[in-house]
Amino acid sequence: MARDTGAACRRCRREGIKLFLKGDRCYSDKCSFERRAYAPGQHGQARFKKQSDYAGQLREKQKVKSMYGMLEGQFRQYFKKADQQKGVTGENLLIMLERRLDNAIFRMGFASSRNQARQLVRHKHILVNGKKVNIPSFQISVGDEISIKEKSRANPLINESLDAVERRGVPSWIEIDRAAYKSTIKAMPNREELTMPIQEQLIVELYSK
């Protein structure tokens, strides 16, 4: 599967915001963004005047793509589906992204980053309603029970992530049973709990041109 193999910290610096792509490292003093909070490259520290509307829209799209670890083709398909649904297109898009299995695993605290969550899914450590699912883009639904395979529960990365999840918090639409290494989807994700500064309307404007 195609994926972005570029340096994660450079993406945070390019967007001018922490995207928390490297898990616990992003909360420590080792975070590159804390030391160099400016865009990468020769002219990264230069101060530019006003950014064009198109540039702002493009950067917003790139930021959300990086956040959820997606390439252009896949992201565009999500937008098309969101546009075909009832309701506000931008909110539909974000909710669909939140409903991805890899994102849910990250939100539950079974992984310290979405990238790590994708690896857990692809290597078949994850069960959805008791069945193995190895598709990171699988869309979760209300009532789904997501758990760690019994043989994988001793994995130190999973346990370290569960110990650290309180630092970022768990959304109200997820109920976690730490002792049983499982979580239940109580409701659909909601826009209000997305704490990252995302202006989804800019993405809608970009794709609507």
DSSP result, 17-39? S----SGGGGGSTT-HHHH--S-
Instruction: Classify domain 100-188 by CATH architecture.
Output: Roll (3.10)
pLDDT band at 177 (very low <50, low <70, confident <90, very high): very high
Q: For 131-137, what is the mean pLDDT? A: 96
* pLDDT at 166 exceeding the cut of 90: no
Query: Whole-number mean pLDDT of the chain?
Result: 84
**At residue 3, does pLDDT exceed 60?**
no
Fold agreement (53-97+195-209, 100-188): no
Evaluate whether 125 touches 116 at the Cβ level (below 8 Å). no
Share of the chain above pLDDT 90, in %: 61
Find out if CATH 1.10.1050.10 is the number for domain 1-44.
yes
Please tell me whether the overall predicted TM-score, pTM, comes out greater than 0.85 for this model: no
Q: Residue 148 burial (CB < 10 Å; 0-12/13-18/19+)?
A: buried
pLDDT of the residue at 1: 45
Whether residue 130 contacts residue 117, with contact meaning beta carbons closer than 8 Å, is answered with no
Check whether domain 53-97+195-209 has CATH 1.10.1050.10, yes or no: yes
Which H or E run contains 179?
none
